[in-house]
Structure 1
Amino acid sequence: MLLRDKVAVITGAGPGLGRTLARLMAAEGARVVVAARTAATVERTAAEVPGARAVVADVSRHDDVERLADLVAERFGGADVLVNAAFPGSHRRNVLDMTEADLAAWRAAVDIAAYGTLLACRFIAPHMVARGSGAIVNVTSMSSRAGYAGRSDYAAGKAAVHLLSHCLADELGPYGVRVNCVAPGWIASEVLDDWMRARAAAEGATFEEIRARDVSAMALRRIATEEDVARAVIYLASDQARSVTGATLDVNAGQHFS
C-alpha cells in the first residue's frame, strides 16, 4: 500500500473530493485525520473511513488550525502527509457588480483557500521538519492559471495557493519535506450536472447536447472523477514521488493544457 502507516491530515474533508480522499488514503494504509468546519459533515466523513479521526476546524482561523496540529501531534506524533483541500463555493459575481456583502464573501473565500492553506502548513509542517520527511499536497484548480468571468474569488484563492506551494517547496525542501499541487478541472458530480442543465435551459438545448459539446472539447473525451483526482494526490503524497516537489499535476482529462 502506498501510504502504509503514514499519518495523513486532510482539510476540507466534507462531501465530495475530501471524503473520497479520506476513503482512498485509508485504503492505501494511512491513518487519517479529517478536518472541516461543520461537525456533522466531518463526523459523517470519519464514520465512512475505518479508524479516521474527525476534528472540527475552520482553516481560516488561527486557533482552530493550531488546535488541529496539536491534536495530531499528541495523538500520532505529527503528520506524514498534509492535504489541503478546503475551498469555498464561488458565488459567481462579476467584480463590477459586487455589493458590500459580495466583497466580504470574496475576501472570506480567499482567506479559506489561501490563508487557510498557509496556516495548515505553518502549524503542521514543523513536525515534518523535525522528522526530516513529509509530503504536502495542495488541491488547487485549473482556475489557478486561467480565470473566468464571475469566478475571481475562486481563481485568486487558488492562484495564491499555487505560488505559495512553490515558496514552501523551496523553504522546506532542505528538510526533506515535499510540497506539490494537484489542479483539477471539472469533476463529475451532481453539481456539475445541475450547472449543465441550467446552461441547457438558458440556451434552449438539451442536457445531453450541452454535455456532449463540453466533453468534445476535452482531449480524453470524458470528465475526470473524484477518484481520478484523489489518485493523483495519493501519488504525490507517496514515496513514489520522492523526487517531486514544487510541481503541479493537472487532472482535467485534457480540458486545459498548461
Structure 2
Amino acid sequence: MMLDGKIAVITGAGPGLGWTLAVLMAREGADVAVAARSADTLEAIAGAVRAEGREALPVPTDVSDPDQVRRLADTVVERFGRVDVLVNAAFPGSHRRNVLDMDDAYLEQWRKAVEIAAYGTLLACRHFAPHMVAAGAGSIVNLTSMSSRAGYAGRSDYAAGKAAVHLLSHCLADELGPSGVRVNCVAPGWIASDVLDDWMRARAEAEHTTFEAIRARDTAAMALRRIATEEDVARAVVFLASDQAAATTGATLDVNGGQLFT
C-alpha cells in the first residue's frame, strides 16, 4: 500500500473530493485526520475511513483561525504521535461575480475566500511542518487549480487564492527541502460532479442549446476527451504524498484531462 502506516491530515475535507481522498488514503494504509468547519460532514467522512479498517480523527476547524489550526495540529500529534502527510484543500464556494459588479459585501466575501485558501494553507503548514522537520521527513500536498495559471471572468477570488497557494508551495519546498520535507501541488481542472453538470445546464439554457451539446463541446477541448473524476484527483494526491515521489518537490501535477498544458 502506498501510504502504509502513515498519518495523514486533510484540511478542507468536504463531502466531495475530501471524502474521496480520505477513503482512498485509508485504503492505501493511512490513518486519517480530517478538518473542516462542518462537524456533521467530518463525522460522516470519519465513519467511511473507519469502514476501511483505519483510524479516523475528525476535528472541526476554521483554517483561517490561527488558534484553531494550532489546536488541530496539537490534537493530531497528541492522538497519533506524529504527522507524515498534510493535504490542504480548503476553499469556499465561489458565486462567479465580475470585479466591477462587486459591492462592499461581496468585496469582503472575496477577501475571506482568498484568506481561507492562502492564509489557511499557510497556517496549516506553519503548525504541522515543524513536526515533519523534527522527524526529518514528510509530505505536504496543496490543492490548487487550473485557475491558478489561467484566470476566468467572474472567478478572481478562486484564481487569486489558488495562485497564492501555488507560489507559497514553491517557497515552502525551498525552505523545507533541506529538512527532508517535500511540498507539491495537485492542480485539478474541471471535476465531474453534480455542480459541474448544473453549470453546464445553465450555460446550455443561456446559449439555447442542450446539455449534451455543451458537454460534447467542452470535452472536445480536452486531449483525453473526458472530465477528470474525484478519484483521478485523489490518486494524484496520494502519489505525491507517498514515498514513490520521494525525489519530487516544488512540482505541480495537473489533473485536467488535457484541458490546459503547462
TM-score (norm 2): 0.98
Q: Secondary structure at the match of 2:168?
A: helix
Query: Which residues in structure 2 correspond to 1:193-212 (within 5 Å)?
Result: 193-212=197-216
Q: Which of 237, 241, 245 is the matching residue for 1:241? A: 245
Amino acid at match of 1:8: A
Aligned mates of 1:173, 1:6 — CA distance in 2: 19
CA deviation map 1:187-212 (0-9, x unaligned): 00000000000000111101001000
1:253 to 243, 257, 260: 257
- Checking the alignment, whether the CA contact within 8 Å between 1:217 and 1:255 is kept in structure 2 is yes
Name the SS for the 1:253 alignment partner. coil
1:112 corresponds to 2:120: no
Correspondence for 1:42: 42
1:195-234 counterparts in 2 under 5 A?
Answer: 195-234=199-238
Q: By how many angstroms is 1:91 displaced? A: 1.4
Is 1:94 the counterpart of 2:98? The answer is: yes
Q: 1:20 aligns to what?
A: 20
Contact 1:141–1:184 under 8 Å retained in 2 = yes
Give aligned pairs, total: 258
Residues 61-81 of structure 1, C-alpha deviations (whole Å, 9 max, x = no match):
101100000001111112100
Distance 1:48 1:73 in 2: 22
Structure 1 gaps of 5+ residues are none
Q: Secondary structure at the match of 1:53?
A: strand
Gaps of 5+ in 2: none
Percent identity between the two aligned chains: 77
Query: What residue identity is the alignment partner of 1:4?
Result: D
- Shift of residue 42 of structure 1? 1.1
Using the alignment, how far apart are the partners of 2:241 and 2:123 within structure 1?
19
Alignment partner, residue 193 of structure 2: 189
Question: Which of these residues, 153, 156, 160, is aligned with residue 152 of structure 1?
Answer: 156
| TM-score using structure 1 length | 0.99
Shift of 1:245: 0.1
Residues 105-139 of structure 1: CA distance to partner in whole angstroms, max 9, x if unpaired? 00000011000000000001100000000000000
